[in-house]
C-alpha cells in the first residue's frame, strides 16, 4: 500500500518509488531498503521496454465490520428466545 499524500507523486516518493516520466507512468528501479525493492525484483528496469504503471488500485471505502456485530447478537438473542419455548426441562 502506498502512504497517503496530497498528490499521487508525493505518495510515490514517500513509498520510495520514482517516476521517470509521470505522463507515461514509467518507473525508475526502487532503491535498496525501500518497501517495494523486494517485490519489484522480477521486473527488468534496464531493458528495452520500460516498466510502466498501467493500473493503480486503491482500497475501497467500506463500512467497518464491527457494524454487523449488533444485528448478529440481536438475531442470536431472538433465536435463543424462540428455542427456549421448545424446552421441556430448564437447562439451569
Q: What is the pLDDT of residues 15-61, one digit of tens each?
A: 777 777 777 777 777 778 777 777 777 777 777 777 777 776 767 78
Position 78 scores a pLDDT of: 95
How would DSSP label each residue in 2-41? PPP-SSHHHHHHHTT-EEEETTTTEEEPPPTTSTTTTGGG
pLDDT band at 71 (very low <50, low <70, confident <90, very high): very high
Q: How far apart are CA 17 and CA 33, in angstroms?
A: 11
Burial class (CB in 10 A: 0-12, 13-18, 19+), 16: middle
- How is the chain split into domains, by residue range? 8-84
Task: Read off the pTM.
Answer: 0.42
CB 19 within 8 A of CB 8: no
Amino acid at each position: 500500500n502506498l502512504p497517503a499524500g496530497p498528490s499521487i507523486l508525493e505518495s510515490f516518493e514517500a513509498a520510495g518509488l520514482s517516476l521517470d516520466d509521470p505522463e507515461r507512468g514509467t518507473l525508475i528501479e526502487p532503491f535498496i531498503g525501500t518497501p517495494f525493492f523486494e517485490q519489484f525484483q522480477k521486473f527488468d528496469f534496464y531493458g528495452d521496454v520500460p516498466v510502466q504503471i498501467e493500473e493503480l488500485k486503491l482500497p475501497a471505502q467500506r463500512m467497518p465490520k464491527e457494524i454487523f456485530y449488533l444485528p448478529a447478537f440481536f438475531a442470536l438473542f431472538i433465536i435463543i428466545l424462540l428455542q427456549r419455548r421448545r424446552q421441556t426441562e430448564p437447562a439451569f
